[in-house]
Chain A
Amino acid sequence: MSDPLVKVRGLKIGATVYPPGEKPHDIEIVHGVDFDLQKGKVLGLIGESGAGKSTIGLATMAYGRGGVEITGGEVWVNGRDILKTGLRDVRRLRGSEVTYVSQSAAASFNPAKKIMEQVTEAAIRHNKFNRKEAEARAVELFAKLGLPEPETIGNRYPHQVSGGQLQRCMTALALCPEPDLVVFDEPTTALDVTTQIDVLAAIKEAIRDTGVAALYITHDLAVVAQVSDHIMVLRMGDMVEYGTTDQIINSPQEEYTQALVSVRSIKHIEKDPTPEPVLSVRNITARYPGTHFDVLHDVTVDLHPGQTLAVVGESGSGKSTLARVITGLLPPSDGTIDFAGRTLSAGLGGRSREDLRELQMIYQMADTAMNPRQTVGTIIGRPLEFYFGLRGREKQKRIQELLDEIELGEGFQDRYPAELSGGQKQRVCIARALAAKPKMIICDEVTSALDPLVADGILKLLLDLQKIEDVAYLFITHDLATVRAIADSIAVMYQGKVQRYGSKTEVLSPPFDDYTDLLLSSVPEMKLGWLEEVIAHRKMESAGN
């Protein structure tokens, strides 16, 4: 076998951390990782946040993000150790031999420059092509990546194309200088699921056609299974397992990999609707002040006591707006909301303290939903004081009970949010909502920012708490796996309308309407060849039509 394109040996990466209340100190975040990548092959790097996968990807460009520094080991690219060649040579490598596709193309394109200028910049800079050649290649790539109007799309500014299109432009940017290696860093994670599948297919085809090698970094095993030849599983800066994609997916050896593969194994059997719903949303139509179109059209759904209604949809479908209407933050232009046997006032100002207490909310970003200068005890204790007037020992006792319920033990009362992990923060938010003894909690994408295993823990906790407290959840999410795990009934939203509504079994069983079919079939499945199957199926259908 010829020399590998990339050879990494004993790679160690460190960073300086600034923990609250402590002196800054250096930590090691990658502890000696080895791997080879052959020309034209795709290696998937997978792991949860903090596993070091992006850091390792960027190390193949001798780059450390923020305060991150490569502290040891060797990174050989095209036969030289790029950690020893000096900055001038590294600059020749970046953007010419190795290129990078980031998670958020929207942030990674310069808003002040046209797309074409940015796509061709590296190729021109490194004298791979002159301007004319580079632009011709860019147009060719735009067409290959399935972008509309490939001839002229380069003349637009980044904000003038959609998120999915921009992500493809970023792929064109990476492929334009004909690199040997592209580092894809979560390139589809920020996209809606129906957009993700097209971008994923475009990326895969572009990799195959150009014969470029790739490092594909993601936390989603089902996605990486579609594009890579080999997979390396990482955890806390160490390699856990390395193998062919087939072996990792179908016969994982390590316990951690097995957990990743079998994630989302929660089984929840749906409950039957009760005669009296706790929340009944009737014909809600709403628009934001100062705009001229309705974000919600005639939305009608019910939520039964102690059950979960999953509101599922993609960005812009109106699902979060529905939450704002129910909480009273956005009074609807038409329709009513009945809650616990009474009709709620449309605006927040007209609602009683009892209304507020019985309807709580948990947010996506636990970080920003808590005051960073309050301790966990203060955060959970506030609703106890506010709604029940608890003080002193009684309050302390109740806080501890709530902490026990969310499976955080003693000693958490005096901690600050910054000292908690992402999952722990979300648990504190759950405890704060439960402290009010609500009849219903609106959960707005509460697991979206969490790693799969952590998210699983949160979902299990929510289901357990539902049994104990008999609380109903209105669960807003874009993730169908989450919906399957916890819902009793489902409302599929699309462009502000309820597209499909019923019990979980009804909604998830055929025959489907077109949109629900598209949505369900776009969710990556953890099996080899899934992407090809879906794309082939869709092509056949559109040919049939």
Chain B
Amino acid sequence: MGPILTLLAQRIALSLLLLLMVSALIFAGTLILPGDVAQSILGQSATPEALANLRAELGLNEPAISRYFSWLSGIFHGDLGTALTSGQDIAASIGSRLSNTLFLAFWAALISVPLAIFLGLLSVRFKDRWPDKLISAVTLTSISIPEFLIGYVLMYLIAVKLGWFSSVAMINDGMSLGQKLNAIALPVMVLTLVVLAHMMRMTRAAILNVMQSAYIETAELKGLSGLDVIRKHAFPNAIAPIVNVVMLNLAYLVVGVVVIEVVFVYPGMGQYLVDHVAKRDVPVVQACGLIFAAVYIGLNMIADIVSILANPRLRHPK
């Protein structure tokens, strides 16, 4: 087990390093944005004394490096700072927003990932015949239409015309799981349609690649049925590329839902971020950016780890 542990440790260490570099980038990025935080809080009519006082209070006169490290050490202690505009603790407000976003992403993933893999397997089984072409056509169409348009079309058809689900996906802690699911049904549908094609195409391509291998011929010559050959012999060898694309899409479900949350007025991270970008609330934007980056890097790290673990040569050295 020696070499595999080293490899895993390397991956994890690299991911942490990457996250650290991203945090520096986020901090630097918000520094070079035009405008002054104190000015934007106090407005144009503020007196120079008031501005100077507020700057001192916010620590804006400190050098950037020391501000970065105090920000970073705060994060390590779970302190994301306070929002400038509302004066609320960012960690507390993000907490509920993030759990809402994860709730939405979880259900979208639960439906889209198995569906994408199943459709991918089905396309391989019926390669170049009508089921394959139909699946490709539908999923590619859905990925090509902008997600807000799909959102509004579904809203019109399902919520307005059929009246099945609510067009506004407001949820709160008082709702039961059933009520919550009912509320998020439409955004989940849209997200599924958006991420399905990518994962399904990649599953199809990865398995078709494996299907060229000699051991697939061996399996066919054992008299296995087409689906058995794919399921038992092709799929286990295509896991690494499939997990990679699945993780990329899961990351998208968390990080890229801004548009969908706005369309469905869903109280998640995306809306929170958009609101505070509009208000120039730099600490909130920094915190959101860092959380998104952490999710992205974390999921890709998991993909790397799964790829390493899926390789029998690494798992069972000679």
Are A and B subunits of one complex? yes
Interface residues of B in 206-257 (CB under 8 A from A): 213-215, 217-225, 233, 236-237
A170 to chain B, nearest CB (A): 8
The answer to whether B221 and A63 have CB atoms under 8 Å apart is: yes
The digit string for B288-318, where 1 denotes a CB below 8 A from any CB of A, is 0000000000000000000000101100101
The CA of A113 and the CA of B237, in the complex, are separated in Å by 10
The CA of A107 and the CA of B219, in the complex, are separated in Å by 12
The reply to whether the CB of A121 lies closer than 8 angstroms to some CB of chain B is yes
Stretch in A92-100, A197-205, A232-240, A319-327 touching the partner:
A92-100
Residues of A with C-beta under 8 A to B318? 159-160
The CA of A91 and the CA of B222, in the complex, are separated in Å by 8
Residues of A with C-beta under 8 A to B224? 91, 95, 121, 125
When A157-B316, A159-B313 are in contact, do A112 and B237 touch as well, CB less than 8 Å?
yes
The CA of A102 and the CA of B318, in the complex, are separated in Å by 24
The answer to whether B218 and A100 have CB atoms under 8 Å apart is: yes
The reply to whether the CB of A111 lies closer than 8 angstroms to some CB of chain B is yes
Residues of B with C-beta under 8 A to A111? 215, 237, 312-313
Q: Which of A65, A96, A104, A160 contacts B223 (CB 8 A)?
A: A96
A93 to chain B, nearest CB (A): 7
The answer to whether B237 and A99 have CB atoms under 8 Å apart is: no
The digit string for A99-134, where 1 denotes a CB below 8 A from any CB of B, is 110101001111111000010011001100000000
The CA of A92 and the CA of B221, in the complex, are separated in Å by 10
The answer to whether A61 and B312 have CB atoms under 8 Å apart is: no
Interface size on B, residues (CB 8 A): 20
A321 to chain B, nearest CB (A): 21
The CA of A113 and the CA of B219, in the complex, are separated in Å by 12
A244 to chain B, nearest CB (A): 29
Residues of B with C-beta under 8 A to A112? 236-237, 310, 312
The answer to whether B214 and A102 have CB atoms under 8 Å apart is: yes
When A95-B223, A110-B219, A113-B236 are in contact, do A104 and B313 touch as well, CB less than 8 Å?
no
Q: Which of B217, B236, B312, B313 contacts A102 (CB 8 A)?
A: B217
When A110-B233, A110-B236 are in contact, do A125 and B215 touch as well, CB less than 8 Å?
no
The CA of A94 and the CA of B316, in the complex, are separated in Å by 31
When A91-B225, A95-B221, A125-B222 are in contact, do A109 and B316 touch as well, CB less than 8 Å?
no
The answer to whether A102 and B218 have CB atoms under 8 Å apart is: yes
The answer to whether A157 and B223 have CB atoms under 8 Å apart is: no
Residues of B with C-beta under 8 A to A122? 222-223
The answer to whether A108 and B214 have CB atoms under 8 Å apart is: yes
The chain B residue sitting closest to A112, CB to CB, is: B236
A475 to chain B, nearest CB (A): 31
A291 to chain B, nearest CB (A): 14
Interface residues of B in 171-225 (CB under 8 A from A): 213-215, 217-225
Q: Which of A65, A118, A126, A173 contacts B217 (CB 8 A)?
A: A65
The CA of A318 and the CA of B233, in the complex, are separated in Å by 35
The answer to whether B221 and A61 have CB atoms under 8 Å apart is: yes
Q: Which of A99, A109, A126 contacts B215 (CB 8 A)?
A: A109
When A93-B223, A95-B222, A95-B223 are in contact, do A104 and B214 touch as well, CB less than 8 Å?
yes
Q: Which of B221, B223, B225, B236 contacts A126 (CB 8 A)?
A: B223
B237 to chain A, nearest CB (A): 5
Residues of B with C-beta under 8 A to A100? 218, 221
The CA of A111 and the CA of B225, in the complex, are separated in Å by 20
The chain A residue sitting closest to B318, CB to CB, is: A160
B128 to chain A, nearest CB (A): 13
The CA of A95 and the CA of B218, in the complex, are separated in Å by 9
The CA of A100 and the CA of B215, in the complex, are separated in Å by 12
B255 to chain A, nearest CB (A): 32
The chain B residue sitting closest to A65, CB to CB, is: B217
The answer to whether B217 and A157 have CB atoms under 8 Å apart is: no
B35 to chain A, nearest CB (A): 52
B170 to chain A, nearest CB (A): 46
B316 to chain A, nearest CB (A): 5
Residues of A with C-beta under 8 A to B221? 61, 63, 94-95, 99-100
The CA of A326 and the CA of B223, in the complex, are separated in Å by 50
The CA of A90 and the CA of B221, in the complex, are separated in Å by 10
The answer to whether A63 and B220 have CB atoms under 8 Å apart is: yes
Q: Which of B217, B310, B316 contacts A108 (CB 8 A)?
A: B217
Residues of A with C-beta under 8 A to B225? 91
Residues of A with C-beta under 8 A to B215? 107-111
Residues of A with C-beta under 8 A to B236? 110, 112-113
Q: Which of B218, B223, B310, B312 contacts A125 (CB 8 A)?
A: B223
Residues of B with C-beta under 8 A to A107? 213-215
When A112-B237, A160-B318 are in contact, do A94 and B218 touch as well, CB less than 8 Å?
no
The CA of A96 and the CA of B223, in the complex, are separated in Å by 8
Residues of A with C-beta under 8 A to B313? 111, 157, 159
Counting chain A CB atoms within 10 Å of each CB, which of B214, B225, B313 scores highest? B214
The answer to whether A157 and B312 have CB atoms under 8 Å apart is: yes
The CA of A384 and the CA of B236, in the complex, are separated in Å by 51
Interface residues of A in 219-246 (CB under 8 A from B): none
The chain B residue sitting closest to A111, CB to CB, is: B312
The CA of A495 and the CA of B214, in the complex, are separated in Å by 30
Residues of B with C-beta under 8 A to A113? 233, 236
The chain B residue sitting closest to A126, CB to CB, is: B223
The CA of A91 and the CA of B310, in the complex, are separated in Å by 30
The CA of A104 and the CA of B218, in the complex, are separated in Å by 11
Residues of A with C-beta under 8 A to B233? 110, 113
Residues of B with C-beta under 8 A to A156? 316
The answer to whether A94 and B220 have CB atoms under 8 Å apart is: yes
The CA of A121 and the CA of B236, in the complex, are separated in Å by 16
A95 to chain B, nearest CB (A): 4
Interface residues of B in 76-126 (CB under 8 A from A): none
The CA of A142 and the CA of B194, in the complex, are separated in Å by 52
Residues of B with C-beta under 8 A to A93? 223
A531 to chain B, nearest CB (A): 27
When A111-B237, A111-B312, A157-B312 are in contact, do A92 and B218 touch as well, CB less than 8 Å?
no
**Can you list 23 contacts pairing A with B, beta carbon distance less than 8 Å?**
A63-B221, A90-B223, A91-B223, A91-B224, A93-B223, A95-B222, A95-B224, A99-B221, A100-B218, A108-B215, A109-B218, A110-B215, A111-B215, A111-B237, A111-B312, A111-B313, A113-B233, A113-B236, A121-B222, A121-B224, A122-B222, A125-B223, A159-B316
User: Which 7 residue pairs across A and B have the least CB separation, nearest first?
Assistant: A95-B222, A94-B223, A107-B214, A95-B223, A122-B222, A112-B236, A91-B223
Q: A91-B223, A99-B221, A159-B312 are in contact. List 14 more A-B contacts (CB 8 A).
A: A63-B220, A92-B223, A94-B223, A95-B222, A95-B224, A100-B218, A100-B221, A104-B214, A107-B213, A108-B217, A111-B237, A113-B233, A122-B223, A173-B218
